Structures are given as C-alpha cells and as structure tokens.
Amino acid sequence: MVEYILGNYLVETGKITKDQLNRILTKQDAVRVKLGLIAVEEGLITIEQADEVNRLQAVMDQRFGDIAVSKGYLTGEQIDKLLKQQGNAYLIFVQALVDEQLITMEEIDLLWNDFKRRYGYSNSELEDIKSDNVDRIVPLMLPDEAKKYDGIVATAVRTLIRLVSRNTYPGWGAMTEVMPADDMVSQALAGENGIVTCFSERNGALLDVCCSFGREEFDCLDLDSLDAAGELLNCINGLYASEMSRQGVQLELMPPEYNGMKEQTCSGPVCRVPIFVRGQGLYFTIAEIK
C-alpha cells in the first residue's frame, strides 16, 4: 500500500514516470510473499492450516498472524520472524528506486519532506504511511469531518485486499453532497449511529471487483454483476457490525439496494473515498442515516 501512495506522489511530481513505477511495483510484487506461504515453506504450519487461516480471514477482520496465533498454529515470536522474512514494504520500495537509479539515497529525505509539506503531515504521520498498516493509514486519508468513518473504511480496504487483490490502496477522501445514484450498490446498517455504505464506479475497478469476487466475467455493470458487489459489501458491513457489537453497539444489516436508495435518508457528513484495485478506481461512500 505504501508503495502506491508514495509512488503515485513521485509520478505526480514528475520524479519518475508511470512506466517506471509500474516496473518497480511488478518487481516488488514478486518479492512480497504471503505470510502463510512463508510459514508453510519454513515447516511451521501445514498447507491445510494455512488454507484454514486464509478462509477465516474472509469472515474475521483480523490479520493472518493474529488468527494463526489464536488457533495455536504459530507463536507471536514466530510471527515476528516471518514478518521480517516477508520484508518491509517501504524499505523494499525505496531500495528498488535506488537500484533502478531513479533516486539517490541522498534525495530520499528531501522527497519525503516535500511529501509531508504537500499533505500537511507530521513526522509521526509520515511514519504511519511508512508502516503499511491499514488502520494507521486510513485516518490520514479522511477529511476531519469523516474521521469517525475510519473503522468502516479500513474494514473495506482490508477486505478488498484479502478477497479481491493485494494491489489495493485508498486515495484521499472528500466530502460530497449526495450519495451516488447510478452504477452503485448500497447497504444500510440500521441502529443507533447507523450508517449507509456504497460502492460505485470510478474508472473501471467496480466491474473488475464484481468479476473477481463473483468469479464470473461480467461484460458490464448490471444487476447481475452488481449483485456480486452487493455480496462483497454485505461481507464488509458484516465484519464491521461484528466489531461494533463487541464494543456494545448493535447494527442491523439491511438488504443491499442497487442504483438508488429507496428507504434510508442520509444525514450528516457524506464522505466519498476512492479505492484503487489493480490500478483502477471505485468509490466507497459512507454517510449517516436517519
């Protein structure tokens, strides 16, 4: 994730080209092996145990390592060692830039200082970006009025990473007046402090997500393809509702709606967050409901 955020900044500022970034990302994708595969290769868990943990990630909003430890398959110490073998995404990305002679080591601090100034980040917030941790990054991508939505946005990003593509990352959110009405699927989570969430098209990612998650080649965004997006949205909202329930907040999932919301009325801030999947974008929109 960090490689896309910082990499796109370098493209936007003319430091590198889009082709150069894509070349680095392709190489980096080959380096970052899934934690389960490393654990199997190390003989720490079986293939069946790794598959079980991967399946559980689809219904539990937890990291592979946390689930493996809770199941007794791995220890915390083993997870720490595996994470070191997997590699630090930020350091791998910077090393690739240097190896490709696109920047020098001396330029790195200057580049990131410029990045901080452009987005108004502090040193600690830049460390959050470098961490490659969804929970630390998402709040930085939201406007102040939408900080309270960071939990559901982080759940959406994590779920897309797990169930659709590892090459998923959020863009900077913005406030908007209304929820989308076309090429969209929405779902209300009713209850105290209820919200409505929505997937809508941006530049191709929603159809791609429908095909990947639905395991079918859809030609266009229609009710058949959007039904797959509705199932994915229901999965995201279910994970979020389960977490809120553990915090004492009860939310009830309403049936998904397509191309327009009939029953719920938005109130309060409406936040639209671009999420990029394999280089294409969709919108994830959140608002309070009455």
Which domains are delineated in the chain? 2-134 (no CATH), 137-289 (3.40.1550.10)
Whole-angstrom Cα distance, residue 174 to residue 104? 34
In this prediction, residue 192 carries a pLDDT of 83
280-289 vs 257-258, strand pairing mode:
unpaired
Q: Which residue has the tokens 């060692």?
A: 81
Please give the span between the terminal C-alpha atoms of the chain, in angstroms, as a whole number.
Answer: 34
- For 149-167, the three-class secondary structure string (H helix, E strand, C coil) is HHHHHHHHHHHHHHHCCCC
Reading the chain (290 residues) residue by residue, the pLDDT tens digits are 888 999 999 999 998 999 999 888 887 766 555 778 778 878 888 989 988 988 888 777 788 888 999 999 999 888 888 877 667 788 778 878 888 888 887 788 888 889 989 888 999 998 899 888 999 999 999 999 999 999 999 999 999 998 999 889 999 999 988 888 788 999 999 998 899 999 999 988 999 999 999 999 999 999 999 999 999 999 999 999 999 998 999 999 999 999 866 545 666 678 999 999 988 999 999 998 87
**Residue 196 to residue 287: CA distance in whole angstroms:** 6
CB-based contact 287:186 (threshold 8 Å): no
Calpha distance 287→146 (Å, rounded): 9
Question: What is the β-pairing status of strands 266-277 and 280-289?
Answer: antiparallel
> Cα separation of 121 and 74, whole Å?
37
| d(C-alpha 90, C-alpha 92), whole Å | 5
Beta strand segments in the chain, E:
168-170, 174-176, 184-190, 195-201, 252-253, 257-258, 266-277, 280-289
Report which DSSP code applies to 143.
-
- The answer to whether the beta carbons of residues 189 and 288 sit under 8 Å apart is no
